[in-house]
């Protein structure tokens, strides 16, 4: 018989006590003992079950952990011998060992997922959750090969293992190449060789990485040239001699080899190429010159071209390449010449272009580039030519660079040409421009620049200074007189961009520039007299001073300009007589003096200008009859003299015949006897009110020569 403590008896048996004789006092004690050992008492039963721990988390497969259970009765007393049954609701995720009844079990992780382990004792139950989520601790990559021919592909594989060495199924790797220009890799590990070189292919899982090195081998040069032929419409080339034949490559038109038989120059300029550049060209690893300008090639510039590490000259001028300039171009570490004039490249100039440390010439004019000039361009320490100009006559079709000219441009101390015209550049010309002491051409026309810095006087090598069509204000700095090599000075009207608003006098220091050939100061708000020092410019062929507020007399020193072919000063407020010294300018073809305050008769000396084709003196205060010497001007094609104070052409046969030979003429006629007193029939005020900004029919300095200069250089 099993004995239980009294406190374990659920229903105590009542004891009836009866009076007994004193001698019978042992009777109630016996009864009490019998009651305590009564045979109908119930055993304790489990009331609660607790599983410890109540949750397990596994980061590896085949890992183990132990669960234990504690059973208590309704009085909270532990029942150490209670029978416990264990069960896993998903043994494919968490398996329990041993399966028999035990106070504790060993749980083993089998697969990723969640399971519940339940313990039962009688009607008492308890459970613990189990989470199995593998955490990779190692990643390995497998490559079928360590080398690959350009154009070929191969798939790499990667697998991950947890801390117990079990494979992590369904691991999602990200793939990357250390040099996508050499080899690319997709999300499934497929690697494609794009250019010769080497690359590391890396698989990443979280913070774990594994890499495999891959060498990309160039295609045979004959195969590459065949690809170039096919992509560029070789059958239609002007000259495709020996291409696609078994002849030695040195005998293929435009192909030049070095002493080792490797292609170093591919010269196919103006040869009728049409199509695209074959990306296989990157296998020409010894190529130094690629000249394919003046063709009809189109599409984007393949970024693979950046792997031509020996390339020194890349000439793409006048094709139809479009899209952005690939930033990979910064990898052309040997490049000295980059010409892309006249294409349709768009977007911003990549800052990576500043990595071309050997570059001497960069020409991106006549494209569709936008955005700022990257300050990294100041890192091109070897640069001698920088041309980023738009199309002056058709601005919407050209570059539209914006923002200020970066001050870093002052670091390009070897620069001889700086052409940024026909863009939307704003702000003042940076004073750092004065550092460019080797500069011979500064072409900043047709922008929105606002000021000329005095440091411009430091550019003592300057020959071309073209600033027309901006928003320049203030005065012309007198330091301009230090530019002793200057031949072209153009600060006048823009082609399509508007006008400058320079004020103050023409600095007399301009007379120091004795090499000047073209001067255009028209369309500003310059005032004061024409300085007599202008007569020192004996090389001058074109002088445009129109549409200003100049006053005073035309200096007699104008007669020193014996090479002058064009003189324009209308409209202004010039007064006094037309100086007879004009008669010394035997090469003059254009003389525009319209809408001023000039007075007196026309000097007979003008009859010596036998090369003159255009003479416009309308809208002044000139008097008297045209001198008879004028009939000797046999080449004259335009003559306007109306709206003066009596200037007239005599009604004589000689003058009739003379005017008949001039296709465009207008003005008053007068009888010989009254010619001196002839009155003007037009309204001088009307002429002034309707005056054009320039009466010059033919600009002394058209913007077109700027483009000619760029092409010529």
Can you give the residue ranges of every domain in the chain?
48-132, 138-217, 226-553, 554-670
User: 454-471 burial by CB neighbour count: b if 16+ within 10 A, else e?
Assistant: ebbbbbebbbbbbbbbbb
CATH C-level class of 48-132: mainly beta
What are the angstrom distances between the C-alpha of 277 and each of 234, 290, 363?
Answer: 12, 11, 20
pLDDT tens digits for range 196-212: 888 899 999 888 999 99
Q: What pLDDT score does 597 carry?
A: 97
- Pairwise CA distance, residues 518 & 466, whole Å: 10
Rounded to the nearest integer, the mean pLDDT of the chain is 88
The fold of 554-670 is: 3.80.10
Residue 350 near residue 373, CB atoms below 8 Å = no
Q: Which two tokens stand for residue 355?
A: 């990595």
Q: For 215-261, how does the pLDDT look when each residue is reduced to its tens digit (9 = 90+)?
A: 888 889 999 999 999 999 999 999 999 999 999 999 999 999 999 99
Does the pLDDT value for residue 712 go beyond 70?
Answer: no
Sign of the Cα pseudo-torsion (622, 626, 630, 633, in order): positive
- The CATH label, of 3.40.50.720, 3.40.50.300, 3.20.20.140, 3.80.10.10, for the domain at 226-553 is 3.80.10.10
Q: Does pLDDT of 599 surpass 80? A: yes
Extract the tokens encoding 441: 């051409």
Radius of gyration of the chain from its Cα atoms, rounded to whole angstroms: 49
- In the three-class reduction of DSSP (H, G, I as helix; E, B as strand; rest coil), residue 271 is classed as coil
Residue 98 tokens, joined: 């041993």
pLDDT in the model for residue 196 = 83
CB–CB of 613/639 below 8 Å? no
Identify the weakest region by mean pLDDT among 173-177, 285-289, 569-573, 620-624. Answer: 173-177
Query: Which of 597, 598, 588 is CA-nearest to residue 563?
Result: 588
**Contact (CB, 8 A) for 593 and 690:** no
Instruction: Indicate whether 528 pLDDT > 60.
Output: yes
- pLDDT at 3 (0 to 100): 34
User: Looking at the domain that runs over 138-217, which CATH code has it been given?
Assistant: 2.60.40.1080
Please, what is the Cα angle at 277 between 273 and 283, to 5 degrees? 125
The partner residues of 442 in beta bridges, in order of sequence, read: 418, 465
**Residue 293 CB: number of other CB atoms within 10 A?**
22
pLDDT per residue as tens digits for the range 48-74: 999 999 999 999 999 999 999 999 999
Rounded to 5 degrees, φ, ψ at 304 are -60, -20
Residue 37 pLDDT more than 80?
Answer: no
Q: How far apart are CA 156 and CA 94, in angstroms?
A: 33
**Residue ranges with strand state E in 238-307:** 255-257, 263-267, 274-275, 289-291, 296-299
Which residues, 6 or more positions from 289, have their beta carbon under 8 angstroms from its beta carbon?
Answer: 256, 264, 265, 266, 267, 311, 312, 313, 315
HEC states along 75-141? CCCECCCCCCEEEECCCCCEEEECCCCCCEEEEEECCCEEEEEEEEECCEEEEEEEEECCCCCEEEE
Tell me whether domains 48-132 and 138-217 share a fold. yes
pTM of the model: 0.75
């Amino acid at each position: 018989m099993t004995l239980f403590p009294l406190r374990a008896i659920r229903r105590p048996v009542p004891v009836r006590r009866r009076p007994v004789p004193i001698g019978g006092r042992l009777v109630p004690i016996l009864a009490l003992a019998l009651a305590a050992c009564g045979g109908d008492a119930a055993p304790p039963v489990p009331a609660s079950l607790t599983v410890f721990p109540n949750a397990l988390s596994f980061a590896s497969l085949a890992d183990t952990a132990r669960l234990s259970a504690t059973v208590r009765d309704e009085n909270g007393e532990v029942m150490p011998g209670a029978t416990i049954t264990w069960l896993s609701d998903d043994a494919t995720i968490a398996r329990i060992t041993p399966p028999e009844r035990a106070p504790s079990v060993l749980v083993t992780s089998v697969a990723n997922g969640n399971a519940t382990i339940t313990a039962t004792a009688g009607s008492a139950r308890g459970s613990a959750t189990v989470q199995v989520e593998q955490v990779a601790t190692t990643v390995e990559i497998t490559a079928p090969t360590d080398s690959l021919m350009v154009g070929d592909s191969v798939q790499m594989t990667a697998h991950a293992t947890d801390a117990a060495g079990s494979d992590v199924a369904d691991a999602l790797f990200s793939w990357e190449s250390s040099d996508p220009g050499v080899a690319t890799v997709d999300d499934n590990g497929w690697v494609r060789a794009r250019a010769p070189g080497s690359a590391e292919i890396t698989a990443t899982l979280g913070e774990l990485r594994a890499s495999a090195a891959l060498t990309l081998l160039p295609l045979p040069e004959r195969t590459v040239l065949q690809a170039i032929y096919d992509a560029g419409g070789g059958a239609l080339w002007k000259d495709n001699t020996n291409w696609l034949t078994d002849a030695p490559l040195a005998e293929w038109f435009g192909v030049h080899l070095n002493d080792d038989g490797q292609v170093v120059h591919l010269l196919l300029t103006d040869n009728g190429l049409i199509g695209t550049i074959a990306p296989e060209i990157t296998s020409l690893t010894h190529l130094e010159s690629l000249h394919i300008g003046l063709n009809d090639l189109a599409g984007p510039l393949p970024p693979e071209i950046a792997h031509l590490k020996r390339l020194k000259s890349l000439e793409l001028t006048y094709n139809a390449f479009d899209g952005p300039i690939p930033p990979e171009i910064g990898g052309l570490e040997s490049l000295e010449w980059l010409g892309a004039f006249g294409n349709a490249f768009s977007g911003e100039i990549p800052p990576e272009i500043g990595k071309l440390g050997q570059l001497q010439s960069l020409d991106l004019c006549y494209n569709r580039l936008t955005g700022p000039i990257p300050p990294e361009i100041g890192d091109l320490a070897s640069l001698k030519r920088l041309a980023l100009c738009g199309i002056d006559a058709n601005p919407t079709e050209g570059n539209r660079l914006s923002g200020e000219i970066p001050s870093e441009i002052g670091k390009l101390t070897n620069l001889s040409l700086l052409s940024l015209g026909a863009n939307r550049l704003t702000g003042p010309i940076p004073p750092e421009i004065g550092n460019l002491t080797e500069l011979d051409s500064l072409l900043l026309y047709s922008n929105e620049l606002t000021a000329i810095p005095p440091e411009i006087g430091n550019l003592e090598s300057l020959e071309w200074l073209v600033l027309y069509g901006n928003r320049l204000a203030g005065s012309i700095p007198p330091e301009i007189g230090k530019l002793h090599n200057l031949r072209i000075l153009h600060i006048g009207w823009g082609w399509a961009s508007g006008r400058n608003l320079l004020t103050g006098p023409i600095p007399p220091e301009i007379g120091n520039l004795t090499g000047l050939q073209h001067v255009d100061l028209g369309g500003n708000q310059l005032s004061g007299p024409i300085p007599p020092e202008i007569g020192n410019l004996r090389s001058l062929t074109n002088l445009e001073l129109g549409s200003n507020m100049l006053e005073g007399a035309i200096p007699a020193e104008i007669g020193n300009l014996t090479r002058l072919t064009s003189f324009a000063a209308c409209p202004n407020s010039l007064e006094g007589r037309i100086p007879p010294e004009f008669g010394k300018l035997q090469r003059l073809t254009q003389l525009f003096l319209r809408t001023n305050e000039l007075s007196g008769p026309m000097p007979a000396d003008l009859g010596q200008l036998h090369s003159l084709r255009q003479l416009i003196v309308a809208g002044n205060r000139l008097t008297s009859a045209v001198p008879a010497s004028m009939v000797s001007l046999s080449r004259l094609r335009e003559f306007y003299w109306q709206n003066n104070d009596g200037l007239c052409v005599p009604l004589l046969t000689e003058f009739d015949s003379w005017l008949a030979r001039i296709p465009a003429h207008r003005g008053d006629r007068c009888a010989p006897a009254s010619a001196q007193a002839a009155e003007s029939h037009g309204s001088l005020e009307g002429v002034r009110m309707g005056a054009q900004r320039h009466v010059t029919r033919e600009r002394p300095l058209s913007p077109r020569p700027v483009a000619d200069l760029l092409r010529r250089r």
